[in-house]
Amino acid sequence: MLNGSGTFDAIAARRTFGDEVLERFPFDAFVSKTITLAPRQGNPPPRLWETPAGLINSIGLPNKGLEGFLSTDLPELAELPVPLVVSVMGFSHDELAQLVAGVGERDEVAMIELNVSCPNVETGLVMGADPAEAARAVELTRPLTEKPLIVKLTPNASEPQAVAAAAEAAGAEAVSLINTLKGMALHPRTRSPWLGGGSGGVSGPAVRAIALEQVYTVARAVEIAVIGMGGIQTGRHAADFIEAGARAIAVGTESFRDPAAGTRIADELAVISASERGISESPTPPAGARAQT
């Protein structure tokens, strides 16, 4: 059970709730929010729009940049009780290489996730939407670190399974999916785009059926591990993703509604798995699990 990158701020949570967050940490591994080589302010507000079944976000990757992350955030994230995955995004191959080399030499980091949902400024192609671009990104970074590389796939690709297969052939150890789908909302009065960034990414229950289909298809195209996410809110949803072929799952938008969602969903999943194996560990499943199955 992981978090979706950018959806759980472990440093702010610890600052707010204290060390109890570490004692009852909701995930088995923690994925940092995506960092870039240079610091970024992110997009102008407003950055969120609530849809009937999810969110559109246009956060724009605000972060301290590689140097700021290594000096300020990494020491705090290293105190988490679980392995750390650092998510990186480069706008060129050179940027990506510097990020992977810089993060990869740190012992505190267990794995690196390549967020390839952005255009390569050299080719104009979104790295994760094109199999050859994705392969190139992995080929370039694979020799720079011994840490496992996860490629975070974008659903805004015509054939995510082809991108996944290209990432696998180039040496990635895992793929994670889905990232957000493109979406937008108009201001109710002015009728111009609501989000400061113009458009944004849709997440939450609205995308779950799409995510499940993509996980199912990708899991049949590769042998490496698939980390499934997209609208998971309950143990039943998590069980569906595992049945579809995910070897691990991640929770994103649901953590905004329920910061302990990771723990709750894992508990619900354990009850479901036990009952499906015919083992009655708990004759009466927790009320939450019952209502949601």
Ligand X SMILES: Cc1cc2nc3c(=O)[nH]c(=O)nc-3n(C[C@H](O)[C@H](O)[C@H](O)COP(=O)(O)O)c2cc1C
Backbone angles phi, psi at 137, to 5 degrees: -60, -40
Provide the 8-state DSSP code for 64: -
- Shorter beta-carbon distance to ligand X: residue 259 or 275: 259
Closest separation in Å from C-beta 88 to ligand X = 10
Listed residue (128, 82, 103) closest to 37, CA to CA: 103
- Shorter beta-carbon distance to ligand X: residue 231 or 235: 231
The one catalytic residue among 110, 118, 140, 225: 118
Listed residue (248, 281, 195) closest to 29, CA to CA: 248
- Shorter beta-carbon distance to ligand X: residue 57 or 234: 57
- Shorter beta-carbon distance to ligand X: residue 34 or 141: 34
How buried is 41 (Cβ within 10 angstroms: 0-12 exposed, 13-18 middle, 19+ buried)?
Answer: exposed
Residue nearest to ligand X (CB): 6
- Shorter beta-carbon distance to ligand X: residue 144 or 215: 215
Cross-strand partners of 29: 2
SS3 category, 42 = coil
Closest separation in Å from C-beta 283 to ligand X = 31
118 is a catalytic site residue: yes
Closest separation in Å from C-beta 25 to ligand X = 18
Count of Cβ atoms closer than 10 Å to residue 100 Cβ: 25
Show Cβ contacts of residue 134 under 8 Å, excluding neighbours closer than 6 positions: 116, 127, 128, 151, 163, 166, 167, 170
Query: Which of 62-87 are b and which e, b meaning 16 or more Cβ less than 10 Å from the residue's Cβ?
Result: ebbebeebbeebbeebeebebebbbb
Closest separation in Å from C-beta 133 to ligand X = 17
Closest separation in Å from C-beta 97 to ligand X = 19
Binding positions for ligand X, rule: CB under 6 A: 4-7, 33-34, 55, 57, 59, 61, 87, 115, 152, 178-180, 203-204, 207, 229-232, 251-254
Quote the CA–CA distance of 271 and 239 in Å, as a whole number: 11
Q: Is 171 left (phi over 0), alpha (psi -120 to 50) or beta?
A: left
Q: Which residues are catalytic?
A: 118
